[in-house]
Structure 1
């Protein structure tokens, strides 16, 4: 993987090798996680992204020692910790449930990990103060958890996790209880803190935008399996499966037959129109049926005499999404979703529209692997 190759000099800090977690049920065994293998390098912000039930939280719990796998091994700094309990792993976990001490105020909760280690009071005060300011909770310092909102409790839990600067910080949807404005600010601070401290973050989220904004590598999970691991740009622009392409942002899909092949570029017949596409993850053969992906923002409106990929059609609908305008356009190759910045050319329903797009933005999605 190019992203990890660029970080070859870093230490492999966390590894899962063929890990599976199975829960019994009345209908038989259920795989919460199935044969997951991944590596996290020291100093990375590694995100595990997936919808509810994808296995992302179970994977985090396996790393933290809160679950024991039926198959496979978990390694921390090269040591097999598969059977070790959480307190014998140099990690700290922040779960969705905050687990704050109800009788302690905010300052006491945040300071607790340092207090039990016997850290000097002046140093505790300094580090607690830094975190109070970072999470904008200075005015809450004397309150106990029952006097805090869910979002405020989450921020306190996150501050407590960070104060001890563990080797690995595991975070399960840590910003989910925050409102949008505070969430964005805390997200930026969280990323900056990770860069400054070089603590390895393993971050679970269902939010695609959050994962793309924060991560070095992202592991996309679905149905207990890892669908793809890559940088945000790789995941978005070169998805390895249709699920990843659909889950990360919007996409247009066109099905056609391969007419010609090359080193990477291929020619595909889509409803009698020849389109040229790039194949990063597979090598299709002539006559094979393939799926092409084009992101909505990658279309250009207008005509270009040298464009190899072009289509014309009629605007069926227009949707305004903040500063963006989304057009649904019926063309000879299918109905396309086209996104443009608002304030540019203005079109109305039933307007004729010419489109063109780059060969590099027309990506072949590999066929699904057969079970």
Structure 2
């Protein structure tokens, strides 16, 4: 159970220098009743926020990134740039009819790459359907990430190979799965051992819209009463499709865990270093057996909800411009320049790498063949099921009689 005096995340801010509006359409851009401070280590203009070290037995947030050198910052920048290029290419592929649908992540790169860099290799991640940056850092093949969106596969990769579960389309359901997995990790004795190569945490990634789902509330109950080693990583991109956060919650989302006994913290989701630091602290608690943490990464979806969405129908241009000036990639680029870590040749090489990624992704997706028409029956249940077997046999007979598998598949 929860250890007396265990480390608790600090709600609130390392800095109040960049209070952001809860929702631009709640008033004029930059003005809102909700100006809750948030953890921030780098301002939108690329300046470090220097906070005093935390009093007590644990470091402050700035101290948690003090060990990151130029190579680490460049690695994060590279991952963010390649994630966005993947996003752009996948969107273009959908527009050309190569994907059935695609969920964009542009603008949320820091809220994905930062926490992914803080993970231990044995930690397990349960994504929703737009955590492309986390999958990139975890080494999931770019083409495999799009198999689901092409309708070629129900998943696309082996979760055990990368310690990343498959994308989840049912909003919020995977948060319960993550909590159950974390309870299993706990019962396997892989928490609180003091061995950094053994202690395991689980991360559930979801959006602001998912917090309205009962599954998330149920997951918080189970996680809290069991002190499960799970981090609830909520990327508040401010729009649940066309519904603003102000229509989903009357209080900041980071406080959602309080009623369940789960400490919460709000972080600037466009600040990759702050996201790294907050995730590192939450993972430290989980690894040590001190229970779950709820994190609200306050960010913005710069693109559409999915490629079937038109955000111009419900968002104001001024709001989009406000957040475009807080682009997470440009923020880290400004920091690299300010601290003398920017190199033009390195930047040119990265641009070439992004071009190569785009080319290989286009070729790889277009080379994907159609799946076997009977594959839809393969993983309905973990064990043989009489009804599924009968349906497969009927379908195979029908297919052989018609002689047109492609037509049947349609």
The question of a shared fold, defined as TM-score above 0.5 by the shorter chain, is answered with no
Choose between structure 1 and 2: higher helix proportion: 2
Instruction: Pick 1 or 2: higher relative contact order, CA cutoff 8 A, min separation 6.
Output: 2
Instruction: Output the TM-score relative to the length of structure 2.
Output: 0.27
Structure number having the greater strand percentage: 1
